[in-house]
Homo-oligomer: A and B are copies of this chain.
Amino acid sequence: MTGKLFVIGTGPGNPDQLTPEALAAVAASTEFFGYFPYIDRLNLRPGQIKVASDNREELNRAQAALMRAAEGVNVCVVSGGDPGVFAMAAAVCEAIDAGPEEWKSVDLTVVPGVTAMLAVAARIGAPLGHDFCAISLSDNLKPWDIIEKRLRLVSEAGLVIALYNPISKARPWQLGRAFEILRETLPATTPVIFGRAAGRPDERMLVMPLGEAEAERADMATCVVIGSPETRIIARPGLADLVYTPRFLKDASK
Protein backbone atom coordinates (compact mmCIF):
# COMPACT_ATOMS: atom_id res chain seq x y z
CA MET A 1 0.00 0.00 0.00
CA THR A 2 1.25 3.48 -0.81
CA GLY A 3 1.33 6.47 1.45
CA LYS A 4 -1.08 9.32 0.94
CA LEU A 5 -0.08 12.22 -1.24
CA PHE A 6 -1.91 15.45 -0.45
CA VAL A 7 -1.58 18.49 -2.67
CA ILE A 8 -2.67 21.58 -0.78
CA GLY A 9 -2.62 25.35 -1.19
CA THR A 10 -1.97 27.68 1.71
CA GLY A 11 -4.43 30.21 0.35
CA PRO A 12 -3.23 33.76 -0.25
CA GLY A 13 -1.28 33.79 3.01
CA ASN A 14 -3.79 34.82 5.66
CA PRO A 15 -3.99 31.77 7.98
CA ASP A 16 -7.72 32.42 8.45
CA GLN A 17 -8.18 31.65 4.75
CA LEU A 18 -6.78 28.11 5.07
CA THR A 19 -9.55 25.50 5.19
CA PRO A 20 -9.94 22.79 7.86
CA GLU A 21 -9.55 20.24 5.06
CA ALA A 22 -6.08 21.60 4.27
CA LEU A 23 -5.13 21.66 7.96
CA ALA A 24 -6.22 18.02 8.28
CA ALA A 25 -4.00 17.11 5.32
CA VAL A 26 -1.08 18.86 7.04
CA ALA A 27 -1.76 16.97 10.27
CA ALA A 28 -1.86 13.64 8.42
CA SER A 29 1.47 14.16 6.61
CA THR A 30 5.03 13.59 7.71
CA GLU A 31 7.04 15.06 4.81
CA PHE A 32 6.37 18.41 3.11
CA PHE A 33 7.51 19.32 -0.38
CA GLY A 34 7.27 22.88 -1.61
CA TYR A 35 8.71 26.29 -2.25
CA PHE A 36 10.20 27.44 1.01
CA PRO A 37 8.02 30.54 1.72
CA TYR A 38 4.85 28.46 1.29
CA ILE A 39 6.00 25.63 3.57
CA ASP A 40 7.00 28.25 6.15
CA ARG A 41 3.37 29.39 6.39
CA LEU A 42 2.48 26.07 8.04
CA ASN A 43 2.86 25.39 11.75
CA LEU A 44 4.52 21.98 11.70
CA ARG A 45 5.02 19.62 14.63
CA PRO A 46 8.43 18.38 15.69
CA GLY A 47 9.14 15.35 13.51
CA GLN A 48 7.35 16.71 10.45
CA ILE A 49 10.03 17.17 7.80
CA LYS A 50 10.38 20.09 5.40
CA VAL A 51 11.86 19.30 2.00
CA ALA A 52 12.04 22.80 0.60
CA SER A 53 13.01 23.55 -2.98
CA ASP A 54 13.32 26.46 -5.35
CA ASN A 55 10.35 28.07 -7.05
CA ARG A 56 11.29 26.81 -10.53
CA GLU A 57 11.62 23.11 -9.68
CA GLU A 58 8.00 22.02 -9.69
CA LEU A 59 8.43 18.81 -11.68
CA ASN A 60 11.44 17.57 -9.69
CA ARG A 61 9.57 18.36 -6.50
CA ALA A 62 6.49 16.46 -7.65
CA GLN A 63 8.64 13.46 -8.57
CA ALA A 64 10.40 13.49 -5.21
CA ALA A 65 7.05 13.59 -3.40
CA LEU A 66 5.61 10.76 -5.51
CA MET A 67 8.67 8.63 -4.86
CA ARG A 68 8.26 9.02 -1.11
CA ALA A 69 4.51 8.37 -1.25
CA ALA A 70 5.13 5.23 -3.32
CA GLU A 71 7.48 4.12 -0.53
CA GLY A 72 4.63 4.39 1.96
CA VAL A 73 5.22 7.83 3.47
CA ASN A 74 2.34 10.30 3.86
CA VAL A 75 3.50 13.38 2.03
CA CYS A 76 2.10 16.85 1.46
CA VAL A 77 2.93 18.98 -1.56
CA VAL A 78 2.44 22.65 -0.72
CA SER A 79 1.47 25.47 -3.09
CA GLY A 80 0.37 29.01 -2.37
CA GLY A 81 -3.24 29.89 -3.15
CA ASP A 82 -5.16 26.99 -4.67
CA PRO A 83 -2.96 24.07 -5.76
CA GLY A 84 -4.95 23.61 -8.99
CA VAL A 85 -4.38 27.12 -10.39
CA PHE A 86 -0.94 27.54 -12.01
CA ALA A 87 0.49 25.42 -9.21
CA MET A 88 1.56 22.00 -8.00
CA ALA A 89 -1.51 19.84 -8.76
CA ALA A 90 -0.76 19.97 -12.49
CA ALA A 91 2.93 19.26 -11.86
CA VAL A 92 2.03 16.19 -9.80
CA CYS A 93 -0.30 14.96 -12.57
CA GLU A 94 2.43 15.52 -15.18
CA ALA A 95 4.85 13.50 -13.05
CA ILE A 96 2.33 10.66 -12.67
CA ASP A 97 1.57 10.72 -16.40
CA ALA A 98 5.24 10.40 -17.39
CA GLY A 99 6.46 8.40 -14.40
CA PRO A 100 6.70 4.72 -13.44
CA GLU A 101 3.49 2.71 -13.47
CA GLU A 102 3.42 2.39 -9.67
CA TRP A 103 2.95 6.15 -9.25
CA LYS A 104 -0.52 5.77 -10.78
CA SER A 105 -1.52 3.79 -7.67
CA VAL A 106 -0.47 6.50 -5.22
CA ASP A 107 -3.38 7.61 -3.01
CA LEU A 108 -3.68 11.20 -4.30
CA THR A 109 -5.88 13.91 -2.76
CA VAL A 110 -5.91 17.46 -4.09
CA VAL A 111 -7.32 19.92 -1.54
CA PRO A 112 -8.84 23.07 -3.06
CA GLY A 113 -8.10 26.48 -1.62
CA VAL A 114 -8.64 30.20 -2.05
CA THR A 115 -6.73 31.34 -5.11
CA ALA A 116 -5.20 34.82 -5.35
CA MET A 117 -7.73 36.38 -7.71
CA LEU A 118 -10.60 35.50 -5.33
CA ALA A 119 -8.79 37.05 -2.37
CA VAL A 120 -7.99 40.20 -4.36
CA ALA A 121 -11.56 40.43 -5.64
CA ALA A 122 -12.96 40.14 -2.12
CA ARG A 123 -10.76 42.98 -0.82
CA ILE A 124 -11.88 45.40 -3.54
CA GLY A 125 -15.57 44.52 -4.05
CA ALA A 126 -16.64 42.10 -6.76
CA PRO A 127 -14.64 42.58 -9.97
CA LEU A 128 -15.13 38.87 -10.85
CA GLY A 129 -18.90 39.17 -10.53
CA HIS A 130 -19.42 38.25 -14.18
CA ASP A 131 -17.56 36.11 -16.77
CA PHE A 132 -13.80 36.15 -16.24
CA CYS A 133 -10.57 34.37 -17.05
CA ALA A 134 -7.24 33.64 -15.44
CA ILE A 135 -4.12 33.85 -17.59
CA SER A 136 -0.52 33.34 -16.54
CA LEU A 137 1.84 35.89 -18.08
CA SER A 138 4.80 33.60 -17.59
CA ASP A 139 6.36 32.78 -20.94
CA ASN A 140 8.66 30.22 -19.36
CA LEU A 141 6.08 27.53 -20.06
CA LYS A 142 4.33 28.80 -23.19
CA PRO A 143 5.31 30.98 -26.15
CA TRP A 144 4.69 34.71 -25.77
CA ASP A 145 2.75 34.91 -29.05
CA ILE A 146 0.13 32.56 -27.60
CA ILE A 147 -0.23 34.82 -24.57
CA GLU A 148 -0.76 37.83 -26.87
CA LYS A 149 -3.35 35.93 -28.88
CA ARG A 150 -5.21 34.95 -25.72
CA LEU A 151 -5.21 38.49 -24.36
CA ARG A 152 -6.68 39.77 -27.64
CA LEU A 153 -9.41 37.12 -27.72
CA VAL A 154 -10.49 37.41 -24.09
CA SER A 155 -10.62 41.19 -24.20
CA GLU A 156 -12.68 40.98 -27.38
CA ALA A 157 -14.93 38.53 -25.51
CA GLY A 158 -15.49 41.11 -22.78
CA LEU A 159 -14.20 38.93 -19.95
CA VAL A 160 -12.63 40.31 -16.81
CA ILE A 161 -8.99 39.20 -16.87
CA ALA A 162 -6.94 38.04 -13.88
CA LEU A 163 -3.23 37.94 -14.65
CA TYR A 164 -1.10 35.55 -12.61
CA ASN A 165 2.72 35.73 -12.58
CA PRO A 166 2.55 39.25 -14.03
CA ILE A 167 6.17 40.22 -13.58
CA SER A 168 9.53 39.05 -12.24
CA LYS A 169 13.19 39.97 -12.58
CA ALA A 170 13.51 37.51 -15.45
CA ARG A 171 10.28 38.73 -17.09
CA PRO A 172 10.30 42.53 -16.76
CA TRP A 173 8.50 43.68 -19.94
CA GLN A 174 5.59 41.25 -20.36
CA LEU A 175 3.04 43.05 -18.18
CA GLY A 176 3.63 46.40 -19.91
CA ARG A 177 3.18 44.71 -23.26
CA ALA A 178 -0.01 43.06 -22.01
CA PHE A 179 -1.40 46.49 -21.05
CA GLU A 180 -0.54 47.78 -24.55
CA ILE A 181 -2.44 44.92 -26.17
CA LEU A 182 -5.46 45.36 -23.92
CA ARG A 183 -5.55 49.12 -24.63
CA GLU A 184 -6.18 48.27 -28.29
CA THR A 185 -9.55 46.73 -27.35
CA LEU A 186 -10.62 48.06 -23.96
CA PRO A 187 -11.58 51.61 -22.99
CA ALA A 188 -8.81 53.64 -21.34
CA THR A 189 -11.10 54.04 -18.33
CA THR A 190 -11.27 50.26 -17.65
CA PRO A 191 -10.27 49.73 -14.00
CA VAL A 192 -7.05 47.83 -13.38
CA ILE A 193 -6.53 46.39 -9.90
CA PHE A 194 -3.03 45.70 -8.63
CA GLY A 195 -3.81 43.33 -5.78
CA ARG A 196 -0.68 42.62 -3.79
CA ALA A 197 -0.52 40.10 -0.93
CA ALA A 198 -4.29 40.22 -0.35
CA GLY A 199 -5.17 39.39 3.25
CA ARG A 200 -1.56 39.59 4.47
CA PRO A 201 -0.02 42.31 6.67
CA ASP A 202 1.85 43.72 3.65
CA GLU A 203 -1.29 43.89 1.50
CA ARG A 204 -1.48 46.76 -0.97
CA MET A 205 -4.47 47.31 -3.24
CA LEU A 206 -4.24 49.87 -6.00
CA VAL A 207 -6.75 50.79 -8.72
CA MET A 208 -5.77 52.70 -11.87
CA PRO A 209 -7.46 53.23 -15.23
CA LEU A 210 -6.03 51.02 -17.97
CA GLY A 211 -4.91 54.12 -19.88
CA GLU A 212 -2.52 54.97 -17.04
CA ALA A 213 -1.68 51.50 -15.75
CA GLU A 214 2.06 51.06 -15.17
CA ALA A 215 3.65 47.64 -15.00
CA GLU A 216 6.03 48.87 -12.27
CA ARG A 217 3.13 48.86 -9.83
CA ALA A 218 3.18 45.04 -9.83
CA ASP A 219 5.65 42.64 -8.26
CA MET A 220 5.80 38.85 -7.92
CA ALA A 221 3.23 38.90 -5.08
CA THR A 222 0.69 40.79 -7.20
CA CYS A 223 -2.36 39.48 -9.02
CA VAL A 224 -3.46 42.03 -11.63
CA VAL A 225 -7.18 42.13 -12.42
CA ILE A 226 -8.32 44.05 -15.50
CA GLY A 227 -12.00 44.89 -15.64
CA SER A 228 -14.37 44.47 -18.55
CA PRO A 229 -16.05 47.45 -20.21
CA GLU A 230 -18.91 46.94 -17.70
CA THR A 231 -16.74 47.06 -14.57
CA ARG A 232 -17.65 50.01 -12.33
CA ILE A 233 -16.07 51.97 -9.50
CA ILE A 234 -18.03 53.18 -6.47
CA ALA A 235 -16.45 56.10 -4.63
CA ARG A 236 -17.15 55.93 -0.89
CA PRO A 237 -16.54 58.92 1.40
CA GLY A 238 -13.81 58.02 3.90
CA LEU A 239 -13.54 54.46 2.59
CA ALA A 240 -11.63 52.78 -0.23
CA ASP A 241 -13.33 52.67 -3.62
CA LEU A 242 -15.27 49.53 -4.49
CA VAL A 243 -14.74 47.92 -7.90
CA TYR A 244 -17.34 45.51 -9.22
CA THR A 245 -18.63 43.94 -12.39
CA PRO A 246 -22.45 43.84 -12.54
CA ARG A 247 -24.11 40.45 -12.85
CA PHE A 248 -26.18 41.62 -15.80
CA LEU A 249 -25.16 42.70 -19.26
CA LYS A 250 -27.48 44.68 -21.50
CA ASP A 251 -27.96 43.75 -25.11
CA ALA A 252 -26.06 46.50 -26.92
CA SER A 253 -27.87 45.73 -30.18
CA LYS A 254 -31.26 46.63 -28.73
| Contact A122–B126 (Cβ < 8 Å) | no
A32–B129 CA distance with the chains assembled, in angstroms: 21
| Contact A112–B17 (Cβ < 8 Å) | yes
- From residue 135 to 151 of chain A, which have CB atoms closer than 8 A to chain B? 135-136, 141-143, 145-146, 149-150
Q: How many copies does the complex hold?
A: 2
A86 to chain B, nearest CB (A): 7
Looking at the complex, which one of B122, B132, B143 makes contact with A112 (CB distance below 8 Å)?
A: B122
- From residue 223 to 249 of chain A, which have CB atoms closer than 8 A to chain B? 232, 234-239, 242, 244-249
What B residues does A133 contact at CB under 8 A? 131-134, 154, 159
Looking at the complex, which one of B93, B153, B234 makes contact with A234 (CB distance below 8 Å)?
A: B93
A71 on the B face (CB < 8 A)? no
Looking at the complex, which one of B24, B104, B122, B134 makes contact with A83 (CB distance below 8 Å)?
A: B122
What B residues does A16 contact at CB under 8 A? 19-21, 24
A125 on the B face (CB < 8 A)? yes
Of A35-43, A113-121, A172-180, the one contacting chain B is: A113-121
Report if A131-B136 is in contact (Cβ < 8 Å); known contacts: A20-B16, A104-B239, A238-B105: yes
| Contact A104–B20 (Cβ < 8 Å) | no
A72 on the B face (CB < 8 A)? no
A65 on the B face (CB < 8 A)? no
A96 on the B face (CB < 8 A)? yes
Looking at the complex, which one of B14, B115, B237, B246 makes contact with A118 (CB distance below 8 Å)?
A: B115
A251 to chain B, nearest CB (A): 4
Closest to A244 in B: B93
A11–B21 CA distance with the chains assembled, in angstroms: 12
Mask of A1-38 contacts with B, CB within 8 angstroms, 1/0: 00000000001101111111100100000000000000
Most chain B CB atoms below 10 A, which of A12, A128, A136, A232: A128
| Contact B236–A91 (Cβ < 8 Å) | no
Most chain B CB atoms below 10 A, which of A87, A89, A251: A89
A57 on the B face (CB < 8 A)? no
Closest to A121 in B: B84
Report if A125-B93 is in contact (Cβ < 8 Å); known contacts: A118-B84, A133-B133, A143-B249: yes
